[in-house]
Structure 1
Amino acid sequence: MEFNTALLHTETAGKRGTPLEPIYQTTAFQYPTAEELERVFQGTDFGYIYTRISNPTLAAFEKKVAALEQGVGAVACASGMAAITLSLLSIVQGGQEILSGSGLYGGTFALFKELQRFGITSRWVTDNTIASFAANINEQTRLIYVESIGNPKLDVPDIAGLAELAHSRGVPLVVDNTAASPYICRPLELGADIVLHSTSKYINGSGNSIGGIIVDSGRFPWDGRRYPALQEYHKFGPYAYLARVRKGLLTDFGASMAPLAAYLNSLGLETLGLRMERICDNAQELAVFFQEQHQVTAVNYPGLESSLSRSTACQQFRGKFGGLLTVRLGSKHKAFRFIEKLKYGANLANIGDVRTLVIHPASTLCLHHTCEEREQMGVYEDLVRISVGIEDIRDLKLDFAQALDRMSLAL
């Protein structure tokens, strides 16, 4: 099946006669006998116990995302940050290290710093070259972590090259694919081992529910000596990692997705391909448009010839380059005036909506980071991040043009 057909016709639900799995808005699931419930708890019979662990609405959503990403399975979580946290803590423990790209979402960067309180060290490379990652791997490294498109740095790592490096050193490659979505990039096909999404973004598409998801390739050989937390789960074969996540941290931390959120994310997922095609086309046109505006000092978008990541993006993306772009306007004051003059660009902290969204990262998402950390993440005082929506491109160009003009007049 092609992408949009798969979104609609991947088999996920039971034989209930419904095209979309209903909302099982329940805490727990009843069984007619104590023996049956005992067998489900023992794992000898399949069944649902408690929505904190799993639920039919969540299971249908997990199956569809896993199929899109070509994984063996998935675990839905309460948020994108919950997915990142559970995915990492299922692998690393105190005294071990995460090796990461520097072009990270600010919340992820903050999480990595917080993990240092638990004895987990994060090391950041200054660029996304394979050589830089190779130079920073050591005996304590337990995984390599990157974003398929850095947010808001918009750098694109060589996923296939990093997967080869990671596997040569006996560690998995974890890729946050939120900013690209499965429509333009499927990291597992490029050799990555684990893929993450904040489903609140492009998968949902309408900004109506928070969620995250972890997808596993089922291919990584978890060495019990290097990864003792996974040793007891080897009996699950290719599902060992997902069993560790679900039966371990998801159950213990309680960071599960709500059934309503799973339903809304499943509903949004059905139009992902249509939305992303329009969003990517609009973003490409807007990036070129901004290059022609004298008020703009710099434009960053992976699809531009001027982008340092264009070559890599062309190799591993499907002819599209995502819906995020950034512009630099010369000063924080100009950036603020530009944002407030927009009619269609909503000033809020999200990406991946059908509507165009804008934000000044330095004063919001990265407010509590040092200047050095912000620059490492590609954040500057005069930078505005734009998450392009599906509006008519002519209206967007006219709106951004008038905002640039009025920004200049307001100085």
Structure 2
Amino acid sequence: MTTSSRRDGFTTRQVHGSLAAQSARSRTTPIYLTAGFPFDGFDDAAAHFGQGDGFGYTRVGNPTIDVVERRIALLEGGAQALLVASGQAAVTVALLGLVASGDHIVTSTHIYEGTRGLFLDNFARLGIEVDFVDDIDDPAAWEALIRPTTRALFAESLANARNDLLDVRAIADIGDAHGIPLVVDNTLATPYLLRPIEHGAAVVVHSASKFLSGQGSVLGGVIVDDGRFDAVAAGAKYPHLVEPTRTGGASVFERHGGLARIAHLRETVAPRLGPTPSPLNAFLIGQGLETLSLRVREQSRNAALVAAWLGARPEVATVDYVGLPSHPHHRHVERYLPDGAGSVFTFTLRGGTDEARRFIEAVEVFTHMTHVGDVRSLVLHPATTSHVQRTPEERVAHGVQDGTLRLSIGIEDAADLIADLDRALAASHPVVVPGAGQTVLA
């Protein structure tokens, strides 16, 4: 080890002194919490900016983030993944890599309210048009809305709040027939239960803040691409992927082939819009991935028990859980969700907002908050929170009544969850004893 003969001043020493660490291997993914990376030489910097070799700046790439991206792509059965700062960023970046002003998207009315607002408000201002399918289980309805300018089909594998289950293969086939990718938000199903790419979807997005991380501590989002972009079948619809760059350079497809879609997101869309995830958040998402199957398996088992128990209670009008035979999309479960029907669903109390308020204020094990996919069980009243921007008629059409509550089931003991729900039902629906002149909580 060579020792420099320099005699630096105090301030220089406090910035540069003993900066080099001894080489070591970490059992877990190291956290590269740095804005940028020093280049080893002049040519290394040129190679990074010219061909994308190595790492230069965390907004463009980071070793911690890279490890998590590779793992998620592997779990989803995709070719590559791109981690961004939130699930909403994942939806935005994925779609802005496909559509431009004057283009068109076909989607479902059942999507997350934040995504619906993105389409109706933000995308509308950019000149991007959107049509909504009311019955996601009607492939003909999807195809009927496709125009010459349609550039993406977008849906959720499991919808919030009515727990509708997408027939991925049927809608993906329609997209393929028109050279249009199906983009699926797979947040609620998770890659453990359902991998849409295996059923024909081209792109999958997640809010990694939910099940992938699992602990409810960080935000993140991810985009996974199947790596099968076909320039012959779809190049005319996506000229930005097949034409030379504005400086006359090789097109994205010429440089990346079937990975052109996600390469464009990684090189052009995400770094310029700037939804960069923190390497620390990426590390925590990566830690969560290591227990994903264990958590989701237990959550799905608990949810099935809770949903069946709620379905037998007289205080409950309906339970919208696709794992129950009563759900209209239950016939798709064997094909798409053989390992469990997920753990986020709604049920509707007999009564309305007053009963829902008393129920929520009585729970002790469940946490009242706007989130899903946590190891802890959560409850929310959609009509006054997640779906408040919809009209009363729209809420009813999508299974959200005044007495509807959304549950995200955690990994607690199922008996404790059921006991907590039992207490809340007793508080929300007191039984009046005739002639006794008093109310007894059931």
Task: Give the alignment's TM-score, normalised by structure 1.
Answer: 0.94
SS at match of 2:81: strand
Aligned equivalent of 1:148, options 157, 160, 174: 157
- The structure with the larger Rg is 2
Whole-Å separation in 2 of the counterparts to 1:277 and 1:206: 15
Unmatched 5+ stretches in structure 1? 1-14
Unmatched 5+ stretches in structure 2? 1-22, 243-250, 432-438
| Aligned counterpart, 1:67 | 74
Cα distance change on mapping 1:377 and 1:58 into 2, 3 Å: farther
Show CA shifts across 1:329-382 (max 9, x none). Answer: 120111111111000111111000000001011111122222344345432222
Please tell me whether residue 202 in structure 1 is matched to residue 223 in structure 2: no
CA contact (8 A) 1:104 1:153 kept: no
| AA in 1 matched with 2:75 | L
Please tell me whether residue 338 in structure 1 is matched to residue 338 in structure 2: no
Aligned equivalent of 1:269, options 289, 295, 312: 289
| Aligned counterpart, 1:217 | 226
Show CA shifts across 1:7-52 (max 9, x none). Answer: xxxxxxxx96333211000000001322211111101x62101101
SS at match of 1:335: helix
Please tell me whether residue 89 in structure 1 is matched to residue 96 in structure 2: yes
Aligned equivalent of 1:124, options 129, 132, 136: 132
| AA in 2 matched with 1:326 | T
Whole-Å separation in 2 of the counterparts to 1:257 and 1:374: 33
Runs of 4+ aligned residues of structure 1 deviating over 3 Å after TM superposition are 375-378
| Aligned counterpart, 1:281 | 301
Aligned equivalent of 1:31, options 32, 39, 46: 39
Whole-Å separation in 1 of the counterparts to 2:394 and 2:280: 37
| AA in 1 matched with 2:388 | L
Superposition map of 1:233-272 within 5 A:
233-235=252-254, 236-272=256-292
Name which of structure 1's ranges 258-267 and 377-386 shifts more when overlaid on structure 2.
377-386
| AA in 2 matched with 1:137 | I
| Aligned counterpart, 2:239 | 228
CA contact (8 A) 1:102 1:376 kept: no
Show CA shifts across 1:91-147 (max 9, x none). Answer: 011111110122111111111112111111111111111121122112121111111
SS at match of 2:176: helix
| AA in 2 matched with 1:324 | V
Whole-Å separation in 1 of the counterparts to 2:101 and 2:25: 48
| AA in 2 matched with 1:121 | E
RMSD over aligned Cα, in angstroms? Answer: 1.5
Show CA shifts across 1:140-168 (max 9, x none). Answer: 21111111100112101110111111101
| Aligned counterpart, 2:417 | 396
Aligned pairs, how many? 396
Please tell me whether residue 348 in structure 1 is matched to residue 369 in structure 2: yes
CA contact (8 A) 1:103 1:376 kept: no
Aligned equivalent of 1:48, options 34, 45, 55: 55
CA contact (8 A) 2:90 2:206 kept: yes
Aligned equivalent of 1:133, options 136, 142, 152: 142
Deviation at 1:191, TM superposition (A): 0.7
CA contact (8 A) 2:241 2:260 kept: yes
Whole-Å separation in 1 of the counterparts to 2:401 and 2:120: 20
Whole-Å separation in 2 of the counterparts to 1:215 and 1:155: 22
| AA in 2 matched with 1:165 | I
Name which of structure 1's ranges 33-42 and 212-221 shifts more when overlaid on structure 2.
33-42
Whole-Å separation in 2 of the counterparts to 1:95 and 1:382: 41
SS at match of 2:214: coil
